[in-house]
Structure 1
Amino acid sequence: MPPHNPLSAWTFGPIRVRRCACGSVGCEQLHNKVMTDMSRRFFVGGAAAMLAPFALGPGLALAQIAPSKPRVLLTNLRLFDGSGQRVREGVQVLIEGDRIQALLGASEQVADAEVIDCQGKLVMPGLIDAHWHAMLAGIPEMVAMTSDVGYLYLSAAQEAQRTLLRGFTSVRDAGGPSFALKRAIDEGMVAGPRIFPSGAMISQTSGHGDFRLRTDLPRADNGPLSLVERVGVAMIADGEDQVLRRVREQLMLGATQIKMLAGGGVASMYDPLDSTQFTDKELRAGVAAADDWGTYVMAHVYTPKGIQRAIRAGVKSIEHGQLADEESVRMMRGEGVWWCLQPFFDDGEGNAYADPQRQASKRKTSEGTEKAYAMAQKHGVKTAWGTDILFNPKNTASQGRHLAKLTRFYDPLTLLAQATGVNGELLALSGERNPYPHTLGRIAAGAWADILVADGDPSVNLDFLTEPERNLRLIMKGGKVYKNTLG
């Protein structure tokens, strides 16, 4: 008798599929391939559909409010357009569908438009967090490592809605299985920001993404994947061939850019902060695979040696880099590499760690943060902003405050431009893999209609972003309103 095939009869709703009875090896192989693909697609689609009934909690579902007319006119406002220039008056914003159609003079009339009186308040682009973990920010580390995947998605769906209500209309996801969440948001099943997913972080053995226990070692060449790999948080790859495979898998799943871990970190258990990870050839293999798909690699790395190796390999965005030296920063500037910095201050608002080694690593990165911001400005490096809130549900509510406190380094208008128009330029590096191929982070003709109306004056400070529930009066994404307390 032929061996039992668990996919020989598979039920999808009312449809029951049976394998071909001809018995040929070719038909059998084709059948197994099709059924495996169907089951994978069913799981991914099912995970997205599973999110639909869940919102912020009882009575707190976040609904889209579609305009009653084909166009919307925002009037009586002060405009920050995301460029970093001063706030303007005497302008109106005309929206049609999901994009901004035009900026008009204050006296121009528009027929057949729903008028929203902004009451003299600030109108600005939706915020962009360029280093966010949509699946991992709002849960503790042990919950992430031990929970069912379904629970992780439900938790992430709630956090996505909270993220949007904090005024963040787009995020670049820096690692985690956020593909189904992105799909559910794009299809309107749940509310949340636009997600640029990296998929699983690519890590070497013993690297920043190797969360296995010591008792899991050694792993045979054909050994099973670890839990973290199976869930899609990180993938371990050693050697050029494995790097190519793992990067290509994430691209197949829909990654808009690739995250490679090129050095030690704070959140990982075993790798020292000063360790350099992946060889030149391994990094180049990942960069080549991403480049072949028209996109780029972002690299987690802190130290000068790791930064310089990543840049030589063709990485386009250095994530963190708080231990950089002058030579590394000049190299970033010379090669046109982005520096995505986060405010890792020892002020009680960063990610918390109980382990003494991780606490020591956190202190080192905190000490390097001020120097990093100073060098970025001194050398004119293209600087993006992100939070990297990780395994810290108590800290996600402070997302806007992580931006506001950086006015110690930048004037508020420049800083707000960093979290809107500048971050939008970084997201556009995804090229043909960009799932939202219009301008983000700007209020200009043709840009996505991702708009906030706020009580605040960014020429003075950004403190209004620390209390979004009170100060963000209207939140619009893609021309749909998710919050309006203008009255």
Structure 2
Amino acid sequence: MPPAVSPLQISLLHHPGHGACCCGSPLLQRFHERMMADISRRQLIGGAAAVMALFAGLHAPASIGSQPKRQGGPLLLTNLALFDGNGTALREGVTVRIEEGRIQAILPQDAPAEGAELIDCGGRVLMPGLIDAHWHTTLAAISQVAAMTSDVGYVHLVAAQEAERTLMRGITSVRDVGGPSFALKRAIDEGIVAGPRIFPAGAMISQTSGHGDFRMRHDVPRGSTTPLSEQERQGVAAIADGEAEVLRRTREQLMLGATQIKLMAGGGVASTYDPLDSTQFTERELRAAVEAAEDWGTYVMVHVYTPRGIQRALRAGVKSIEHGQLADEETARMMAGEGAWWSLQPFLQDEDANVYPDAARREAQRQVAEGTVRAYELAQRFDIKTAWGTDILFSPQNTPNQLRQLAKLTRFYDPLTVLAMATGRNGELLALSGPRNPYPGTLGKIEPGALADLLLVDGDPSQNLDFLHDPERNLRLIIKGGRIYKDTLQG
């Protein structure tokens, strides 16, 4: 049986949210134990894949089993203003032709339909589908209480439902940064459920005592013959100490289909065992993962906040820094020099932030919030390749506000630059997975040959991003892979 949850802990669950990565929190730790024990009791070999297979033949609710409108031929989108994902000014007087799931051509306004289905966009803005570069597909939309007390099948069905809601918010691709998302990705790709394209990292690789070590104190010490924890066996996390173990765990995730590898290279705000200022994995251990990933044509990203941890990761060849809000000027300059990506989230200690009962974690959260403002300034000053992500975790009340996390960036950038970050720029980051990319083709841009993931919006992104606050009303057309998932133009 999982450990009991105290009244204080239950009261804290009424204030989940966003503000700093909390994947090392005690309640997350208990969730993993509860979830994986449930899997073990039911002997669901393959975890989420078996759960999905179990329900595939049932009559699913419309929110889970809905299918896109199927096109019999090409589409021609006309009478529109075009934002192509590059951050440049809107283009007028063009028509976009879609065929076989891709942008076939960008044509003059008066181009003939030539057998295509014509969609009059009414002068609205057509833009690429949005990309969230730091998303937890399985863990975003379920509360910690529900996750700890529910059947594991329920956890994955909630994730499937949230995947559709994510797509209906205009997020057509996500980079999953750790967790058992392989089955959901497969179900989406096969059309069993609707959702965004998923670039999965698989299990989060952590050192002992690191940000992905979810074991309880009574599980330590670990002997040479001690079996793996349930979390590890089911692909939530993987504990590795030493170059040989890091190499093995990295190769395992690549075998399972990881498009990139996630390592925990530093502490977190909500963590029990690893303080925010801790540096994790030696440079040799990090390099072992980097070399294994490079042998498969892909890259390593790391969870880390501090200058020391970031610099160590960069020296090891890591290509994407997740968080990094405590970076100083020297570290920012090093990121720019190495050509690394800075995957930032607007952790601003605002209405979306986690609520912590103790002063130590509130102080760590304050440091991260202050660092967030400084990080965006450094990223621009040193022209660092910057990605947008949300890192919403265990917050079903916050997932509907996913796009609000994008609109917040107009505090630091002009609106078109923000949109370019969440479309074309994030698409470039996804492409870093090279031959491991499960969706070959350009994402995040509207150009000939690109994958046809598109949004038609009510709003003027050259002025502001206010339309993002109400995607249900303001996203009039959602297209993924050339198929229409939402169309309210006739209404």
Q: TM above 0.5, one fold?
A: yes
8 A Cα contact 1:209 1:268, kept in partner:
no
CA RMSD of aligned residues (A): 1.9
8 A Cα contact 1:51 1:157, kept in partner:
no
1:200 partner letter:
A
Shift of 1:155: 1.2
Equivalent of residue 417 in structure 1, options 416, 420, 428: 420
Cα 1:272/1:54, change in 2 over 3 Å: farther
Counterpart Cα distance in 2 of 1:219 and 1:484 = 55
Equivalent of residue 46 in structure 1, options 46, 50, 53: 50
Equivalent of residue 183 in structure 1, options 178, 182, 186: 186
**Counterpart for residue 206 of structure 2:** 203
Choose 261-270 or 358-367, whichever is displaced more.
358-367
Equivalent of residue 440 in structure 1, options 439, 443, 452: 443
TM-score for the superposition, normalised by structure 1 = 0.88
Per-residue CA deviations over 1:316-335 (Å, capped at 9, x if unaligned) read 00000000000000000001
Q: 1:85 aligned to 2:85?
A: no
Q: Secondary structure at the match of 2:346?
A: coil
Per-residue CA deviations over 1:283-321 (Å, capped at 9, x if unaligned) read 011111111111000011000000000000000000000
Q: Which consecutive unaligned segments of at least 5 residues does structure 1 have?
A: 1-38
Q: Determine which structure has more spread, i.e. the larger CA radius of gyration.
A: 1
Counterpart Cα distance in 2 of 1:343 and 1:47 = 34
**Counterpart for residue 70 of structure 2:** 66
Cα 1:233/1:478, change in 2 over 3 Å: same
Shift of 1:50: 3.6
Shift of 1:178: 0.2
Shift of 1:347: 1.0
Counterpart Cα distance in 2 of 1:352 and 1:411 = 30
Q: 1:95 aligned to 2:98?
A: yes
Counterpart Cα distance in 1 of 2:313 and 2:63 = 48
Cα 1:119/1:232, change in 2 over 3 Å: same
2:169 partner letter:
R
Equivalent of residue 241 in structure 1, options 241, 244, 264: 244
**Counterpart for residue 120 of structure 1:** 123
8 A Cα contact 1:52 1:190, kept in partner:
no
Shift of 1:230: 2.8
Per-residue CA deviations over 1:427-485 (Å, capped at 9, x if unaligned) read 00000000011000001110001000110111011111111001001111001111100
Equivalent of residue 275 in structure 1, options 263, 278, 296: 278
Aligned-pair identity in percent equals 67
Equivalent of residue 460 in structure 1, options 452, 458, 463: 463
Shift of 1:246: 0.8
Shift of 1:234: 1.1
Shift of 1:397: 0.7
8 A Cα contact 2:356 2:362, kept in partner:
yes
Counterpart Cα distance in 2 of 1:229 and 1:54 = 30
- 1:322-333 → structure 2 map (5 Å cutoff): 322-333=325-336
**Counterpart for residue 167 of structure 1:** 170
**Counterpart for residue 303 of structure 1:** 306
**Counterpart for residue 225 of structure 1:** 228
1:49 partner letter:
A
**Counterpart for residue 339 of structure 2:** 336
Q: 1:216 aligned to 2:219?
A: yes
2:125 partner letter:
L
Per-residue CA deviations over 1:160-198 (Å, capped at 9, x if unaligned) read 001000000000000001000000000000000000000
TM-score for the superposition, normalised by structure 2 = 0.88
Counterpart Cα distance in 2 of 1:51 and 1:310 = 42
8 A Cα contact 1:51 1:190, kept in partner:
no
Shift of 1:142: 4.7
Counterpart Cα distance in 2 of 1:477 and 1:379 = 34
Counterpart Cα distance in 2 of 1:393 and 1:355 = 24
8 A Cα contact 2:332 2:382, kept in partner:
yes
**Counterpart for residue 381 of structure 1:** 384
Counterpart Cα distance in 1 of 2:215 and 2:393 = 18
8 A Cα contact 2:134 2:174, kept in partner:
yes
Shift of 1:47: 3.2
Counterpart Cα distance in 2 of 1:247 and 1:152 = 26
Count how many residue pairs are aligned between Structure 1 and Structure 2: 448
**Counterpart for residue 14 of structure 2:** none
Counterpart Cα distance in 1 of 2:223 and 2:369 = 38
1:48 partner letter:
M
Shift of 1:42: 6.8
Counterpart Cα distance in 2 of 1:444 and 1:199 = 31
8 A Cα contact 1:287 1:297, kept in partner:
yes
8 A Cα contact 1:54 1:154, kept in partner:
no
**Counterpart for residue 284 of structure 1:** 287
Q: 1:450 aligned to 2:428?
A: no
Q: Secondary structure at the match of 1:442?
A: coil
Shift of 1:348: 1.3
Counterpart Cα distance in 1 of 2:460 and 2:273 = 45
Cα 1:251/1:59, change in 2 over 3 Å: closer
Counterpart Cα distance in 1 of 2:148 and 2:292 = 29
Per-residue CA deviations over 1:188-213 (Å, capped at 9, x if unaligned) read 00000000000000001111011111
Q: 1:349 aligned to 2:352?
A: yes
